[in-house]
Amino acid sequence: MKTIETTAVVGDDRKLTVQLPLDIAPGPHQIVVVVDGPRSEQPQAWTMNEWPIHEAALADPNFTMRREELYGDDGR
């Protein structure tokens, strides 16, 4: 079995023509067509300026992440 994923344009006549690779032998084959809805011309591209900004800081600036500060007296 071989999976080929591509984008296709469906014309007004509702016909779809597919060019297959040369390693697909002539003859009967089981074909699965999945139509997931119309696609936009180009996928949305994000720029770095559009990502949300999250300010992060330690709750206590004196917290040093030492083992003694993270765990209790029993080491857990």
pLDDT at position 34 is 84
Residue 1, pLDDT above cutoff 80: no
pLDDT of 10 reads 82
Contact 17, 9 (CB under 8 A): no
- The mean of the pLDDT values for the chain is 80
Task: Report the pLDDT value the prediction gives residue 41, as an integer from 0 to 100.
Answer: 66
Nearest to residue 9, comparing CAs of 1, 52, 23, 17? 17
Instruction: Show the tokens assigned to 75.
Output: 């080491």
Cβ burial of 32 (10 Å; 0-12, 13-18, 19+) is exposed
For 54-72, what is the mean pLDDT?
Answer: 79
Residue at 8: amino acid letter: A
